[in-house]
A and B are shown apart, each in its own frame.
Chain A
């Protein structure tokens, strides 16, 4: 599904990704771990098309298509979703209007008619239940006045509404208490199928108690330095990241 090969990218002439390679197949859950400043969020931003990064080398293919050539909205329409580390507040735009615009723009890109209002409401109610959102949420402005936990739940809710093929969760667990963490993880697990894939970026092993990854990658200095199964996450939790830095030098 996703093939990243030898990706080099920089921002303001500073190289952040230094030969990042990763392949993700349908049905898989990948966890990317690593200390601050190793390029995890940069990777998420580049995959979703945020401006300001320069790709100096490497390729990214998504279902056979060159992802790097697409506009951010085209990537979303193709089925790439990013759960933001810092979701943006949009005062004045209700969650309902925001998501209706998103759902309909994606449908339009596939040559489909706009969703019927009743079907849309039904879909919203169904997906809201998944992340335990209260009813007043529909009419509230996007993320405005939301607590940190509510914002992250809203990201998972949006993911549920848009039903992406590839979801990238950028530190969705940071700032969550244990209940919110359970709700978020539960949402992800319910949405996970054989047809879609998840890339979960996290600092901590604790999220991986709830979302069981097929692969755990350790990222350091702009590339993956070690790959293992879920036991690698436990090892990191125990030993910290210092030994990884040494690995990189070897």
Chain B
């Protein structure tokens, strides 16, 4: 891949993109020798034959028609932003129109300061994304749905989102990763969310792309005082999915929520990494990730809480709980706490178990066959995360989807 990037380098004219590409080349492709890539083999994605999408490939597939029924069946809102193979699709989208909501130039590439190959790659090659500024005091009631629709693309599709949420503003987003024609796909997405004072943001990521769908996602949240931000990542089907979620809490009395559910029944590989930096005092963070692993699937959880010296009176709670449904499924979990302040309440914990025989027997003793009984218990295990999803329609849709995956009736 590095060779391919070096070949492309002379053709890039934008200085910022060029700088990012040079950094990406210098950093090199992630390797399992790196601690943060210990359990995820990035080359496995590349081995599926994806190539870079350069500006020549940035064409709107205006001829691409998604059936309206398909969108309606997969949607809970009238606010839809649709990308087809990484390019915004105007005809299919319907976006909230408000004088205090601005969409910026989609090619607004900025200088990157990361040390991450995938973020630099994204900065060099981003084809599109949401650049949105929500003015102070604006409340968007209807959730905004972002569909990343992939159809027979052999490109690495890079999408870059930046959302600035003004003071006292409220907004909700949900991202869906959709494989329209069951061909392999790879999306590398970078999202920056800035949450101003008193603002409230909900952000959901639904990863259910099916066989051969790869995702690398980097989401960074910065929060100012008394803001609330809630990010939930739900992974069901796909190939490799790696989600890096970082919170920087910079204002006092801010509240951060990180929730995750990975329900993997076949051969999926999901790597969730979260980091919350408590930089100031009097903030709270809550994190619950639950994993259900069957088949030959693999789950990785790495959650880190950093409480800086200035961050007195921090309350930070983290929990990762997993159940294994098969002997061939794997979970690697690593909770980490780094605390430099002395007056804090922090907890973390990780558990891995199996379905309790006593629970299974209780259901069987009521006439429920073993398979349905297992399905109900697995559903119950995951329900705690679903309850954290405040958007009712979305929650119900997800409940139905999970029931379908577990072959149970609700």
Contacts and interface: CB of A to CB of B under 8 A. Distances in A.
B369 interface: yes
Nearest to B381: A92
A105 B372 contact: yes
Interface string B349-387: 000000011110111111111101100110111111000
Contacts of A81: 365
B370 A71 contact: yes
Interface of A: 48-51, 71-73, 75-77, 81-82, 84, 87-88, 90-93, 97-102, 104-106, 109, 114, 141, 158, 162
Given A93-B380, A97-B410, A105 B368 contact: yes
B69 interface: no
B409 interface: yes
Interface in B316-373: 356-359, 361-370, 372-373
11 contacts: A51-B357, A73-B368, A84-B362, A88-B356, A92-B383, A93-B380, A98-B363, A101-B372, A102-B366, A102-B367, A104-B409
B408 interface: yes
Nearest to A50: B361
B399 to A, nearest CB: 10
A101 B408 contact: yes
A162 B367 contact: yes
3 tightest CB-CB pairs across the interface, nearest first? A92-B383, A92-B380, A76-B367
Interface residues of B, number: 27
A88 B366 contact: no
Contacts of A71: 364, 370
Interface residues of B: mostly helix, strand, loop or mixed?
helix
Nearest to A80: B365
Given A71-B370, A93-B376, A109-B367, A88 B409 contact: no
Given A84-B365, A87-B362, 15 more contacts: A71-B370, A76-B365, A90-B363, A90-B377, A90-B380, A92-B381, A93-B377, A93-B380, A93-B383, A98-B363, A98-B376, A102-B367, A102-B368, A105-B372, A114-B409
A114 B380 CA distance: 22
B370 A73 contact: yes
Contacts, number: 85
Contact of B366 (A50, A51, A98, A109): A98
A90 B359 contact: yes
Contacts of B382: 92
Contact of A48 (B365, B372, B376, B383): B365
Contacts of B376: 90, 93, 97-98, 101
Contacts of A109: 367
Nearest to A89: B359
B142 to A, nearest CB: 27
Interface of B: 356-359, 361-370, 372-373, 376-377, 379-384, 408-410
Contact of A77 (B358, B367, B372): B367
B366 A76 contact: yes
B361 A101 contact: no
Nearest to A159: B366
A45 to B, nearest CB: 9
Contacts of A49: 364-365
A109 B372 CA distance: 14
A82 B365 contact: yes
Nearest to A87: B362
- Max chain B Cβ within 10 angstroms of own Cβ: one of A71, A99, A105, A114: A105
B362 A105 contact: no
B364 A76 contact: yes
Contact of B359 (A88, A100, A105, A141): A88
A81 B356 CA distance: 21
Contacts of B364: 49, 71-73, 76
A199 to B, nearest CB: 15
A75 B365 CA distance: 8
A94 to B, nearest CB: 9
A158 B410 CA distance: 18
A102 B364 CA distance: 9
B361 A51 contact: yes
Given A71-B364, A98-B376, A105 B357 contact: no
Contacts of B363: 90, 98, 101-102
B269 to A, nearest CB: 26
Contacts of B379: 92-93
A81 B359 CA distance: 16
Contacts of B373: 73
Contacts of B365: 48-50, 72-73, 75-76, 81-82, 84
A132 B372 CA distance: 29
Nearest to B385: A92
A244 to B, nearest CB: 30
Contacts of A51: 357, 361
Contacts of B377: 90, 93
A148 B185 CA distance: 53
Contacts of A99: 366
B361 A72 contact: yes
A84 B365 CA distance: 10
